[in-house]
Amino acid sequence: MAVVSMKQFLEAGAHFGHQTRRWHPKMQPYIFGATNGIHIIDLQKTLRLLKTAYEFVRDLAAQGEYVLFIGTKLQARDIIKEEAERSNCFYINERWLGGLMTNFNTIKQSIAKLKKLEEMRGENGLYEGIIKKEAMRTEKMRLKLEKGLGGIKEMRKLPGAVFVVDCKKERIALQEAAKLGIPIVAVVDTNCDPEGIDYVIPGNDDAVRSIRLFTYTVANAVLEGRAIHDARQKAAEEERPAATERPARGRGRGAQAPSAAAPAMPAQAAPVPPAAPAMPAQAAPVPPATPAAEPQPAAGAAAPAAKPEPA
């Protein structure tokens, strides 16, 4: 089953490129022709390459990784935010902050500052304990940080891949991803340079419907991969109790063998108790020795019997 049909591409206008005088020569393999001074993108190649990108993103999400959605142009901002939130991913839909990935430790400090300001703000949206002028200044700082970092507040590590709309506008983000070796999935129009893009998706990156179609498809790939990842985790959790029960049974059988050998220990210890009675057996001849002294009084009794003779 195709990820996207040819009819959907045509309805979204994904085949329209830029003016022929604004094209990039390296996009020649992806161009079908030109009409009225406008390049037409080869949708057969778009369909094939989109499927390849879909499978990559799906497999990546199945490993527990996530995709960073990037699109700061006006037509893409709302779409990037909606689809990233739907797929539970992070996004940048405002100005790209230089060093966001290459200097991520510093960005994390700014994120921590943003969270601290949100805690100070409170649930009612007021800053308690500070004067009005200071509260206004703090709120202005919070809004600035929220605008640039709101989509990555919970991002604790670098993404497994980035999805980019309009490579020409997001060239700094592409440079940082390439420097860090992060795979790049991008919608590439006829005026963009596809060099360095790991998964090129030739298509219209200006029309809202086209942007939505591509972004929606990538978000679906993330969701499918997450479902696979969750199913694997669930199966692993179900196998763990079974794995712990099997050794327990083995130990139970092994415990029967020592129990059979346990009686043998008393059998060896049995000779020890008889050795204790043997000591009284040596003391037993002493009582017979005391009766042996009793005949002496009998001899004394015979002596009085001899006294009547002199009388």
Please count the residues of the chain.
Answer: 311
- The pTM of this model reads 0.74
Does residue 296 form part of some domain?
A: no
Expressed as residue numbers, the domain containing 88 is 6-101+158-233
Question: At 167, phi and psi to the nearest 5?
Answer: -65, -30
Q: How far apart are CA 73 and CA 206, in angstroms?
A: 9
Helices in 262-285 by DSSP H: which ranges? Answer: 264-269, 272-283
What is residue 269's predicted lDDT score, i.e. its pLDDT? 44
Take residue 42 and report the two structure tokens written for it: 């080869």
Query: How does pLDDT run across 167-176, given as a tens digit for each residue?
Result: 999 999 999 9
Low-confidence ranges of the chain (pLDDT < 50): 1, 250, 252-311
The answer for residues whose C-beta is within 8 angstroms of residue 146's C-beta and 6 or more apart is: 114
> Are 85 and 187 in a shared domain?
yes
> Are 128 and 169 in a shared domain?
no
Burial 239-275 (b: 16+ CB within 10 A, else e): eeeeeeeeeeeeeeeeeeeeeeeeeeeeeeeeeeeee
Number of structural domains the chain divides into: 2
- CATH code of the domain covering residue 85: 3.40.50.10490
Query: How does pLDDT run across 101-117, given as a tens digit for each residue?
Result: 999 999 999 999 998 88
> Are 26 and 96 in a shared domain?
yes
Q: How far apart are CA 166 and CA 193, in angstroms?
A: 10
What is residue 241's predicted lDDT score, i.e. its pLDDT? 72
What is residue 245's predicted lDDT score, i.e. its pLDDT? 60
Given a contact cutoff of 8 angstroms between Cβ atoms, the answer to whether 196 and 178 are in contact is yes
> Are 179 and 213 in a shared domain?
yes
Does residue 250 form part of some domain?
A: no
